[in-house]
A and B are shown apart, each in its own frame.
Chain A
Amino acid sequence: MKTKMHRTVLGAAALSAFAFAAPVLADEDAELIVNGDLSIVTKTAAPAHLSDSLDEILSGWRFRNDDTQVMQMDDFDNPGMLGADVGLDQFAAVMGSEGKSCADCHDGPESLSTVRATYPKWNEAAGEVRTMQMQINDCLTNQMGAEAEKYDSAKMLNFEAMLAVAARGTPVNVAIDGPAQSVWETGKELYYTRFGQLELSCANCHEDNYGNMIRADHLSQGQVNGFPTYRLKNAKLNGIQSRFKGCVRDTRAETFNPGSPEFIALELYVASRGNGLSVEGPSVRN
């Protein structure tokens, strides 16, 4: 199922807190077809930049149990679609002092079907790497005269869910070269940096131990192609950077916050680890 070039030795503190055991549960060979007709790539060859660490990349969907997997196979069964629906309403709603809606500039979400797969992305005019949420806030404040939304707010995630549906099935393809490269390198460094009292890096769990159990949880590769994600745990849409925050917190570290330069860089890097998987949001996870 997977090749590992080397297994990182976990710190003693980490071992005492988290026990890794043999995998059970999920059907890692299941295939995701949504509504009976939309094939989603949940397993494919790893992008070239991962050639030293992974042969294959796998969507988090493959690591969930049957009941959770099934919920994402039909848009009616998928409660995350409630958010995508509200996102469509928001798209048509006039917001801000300019009296404009998203629909006044954009010709329906279909016209934005490449967004979800290509962000985070370098913005030449602004001279920065922007996530989707940064770009949406730019529209809200500079084009529409509306208030900026907080990072990973319900409204933001509804917009993201709508954009994910517009792009669903297309391969994730974020650019890591050119002007984005230095940010990508920062993100890569963060991915392999051990944080917290448990001294765990992203890679310790999601590269070295995916497929294993961390207590009762089946560790995935930590791919973000399925975001925003409807979690059974909190029964709402969850954002990428809030998930990062949860992970870093669980290493017993002071975390970065959603919207911080560190998490923007990490989002670009982690997104690039999924280049080739399909956009599948809003996904359903535990």
Chain B
Amino acid sequence: MNLTRRDALALGLGATAASLLPLRAVAAADDAIAVFTGGAKVGTGGITLTAPEIAENGNTVPVAVDAPGATSIMVLATGNPTPGVATFNFGPLAGSQSASTRMRLAGTQDVVAIAKLADGSFVKASSLVKVTIGGCGG
């Protein structure tokens, strides 16, 4: 195969674009976090994120969050085309600052939960979920 300079350039550009894709998804997650926190520093601890280590199917993955004293918790799937999953806002009659749901994951990725605590500070937890591809009809 003969490569012209133009071809080589196009190939190089293609490779760059491809390698940027996951970065763009992560950037979208970072943007969503910045909007949620207003750019405030995000600590750790005081928040629990429960998601399977291996999900049998990415289309229906159970996820639970728990952050005692939080006013709201945002859940992000950092590897999805759009990272938003849900934001739980707890009212005065919430029995706990915890909730669970089922989400879609486009592939193996980090799931992130960020809680806004009553004092206005933020804490974060993340969990790597491996999404398997079935052998048959999977």
Contacts and interface: CB of A to CB of B under 8 A. Distances in A.
**Whether chain A touches chain B in the assembled complex (some CB pair under 8 Å):** yes
A18 B137 CA distance: 13
B95 interface: no
A132 to B, nearest CB: 22
A235 to B, nearest CB: 6
B13 interface: no
B10 to A, nearest CB: 34
A68 interface: yes
Contacts of B62: 67, 71
A18 B138 CA distance: 13
A268 to B, nearest CB: 22
A23 to B, nearest CB: 13
Interface stretch (B30-38, B85-93, B128-136): B128-136
Contacts, number: 59
B117 interface: no
A213 interface: yes
Contacts of B96: none
Interface residues of A, number: 26
Contact of B59 (A217, A234, A243, A247): A234
A286 interface: yes
Interface in B52-97: 52, 54-57, 59-62
B134 A217 contact: yes
A65 B138 contact: no
A64 B56 contact: yes
A2 interface: no
Nearest to A231: B57
A233 interface: yes
A216 interface: yes
Nearest to B134: A217
Interface string A30-67: 00000000000000000000000000000000001111
A190 interface: no
Dominant secondary structure at the B interface:
loop
Given A216-B138, A217-B138, A286 B56 contact: yes
Contacts of B57: 231-233, 286
B138 A215 contact: yes
A247 B136 contact: yes
Interface in B80-131: none
A136 B134 CA distance: 33
A217 B134 CA distance: 5
A286 B134 CA distance: 9
Contact of B135 (A65, A71, A214): A214
Given A65-B52, A232-B57, A216 B137 contact: no
A246 B137 contact: yes
A233 B59 contact: yes
17 contacts: A25-B54, A65-B52, A67-B52, A67-B55, A68-B56, A214-B135, A216-B132, A216-B134, A219-B135, A231-B57, A232-B56, A233-B138, A243-B137, A246-B136, A246-B137, A250-B137, A286-B56
A-B pairs, 4 with minimum CB distance: A214-B135, A216-B132, A286-B56, A215-B135
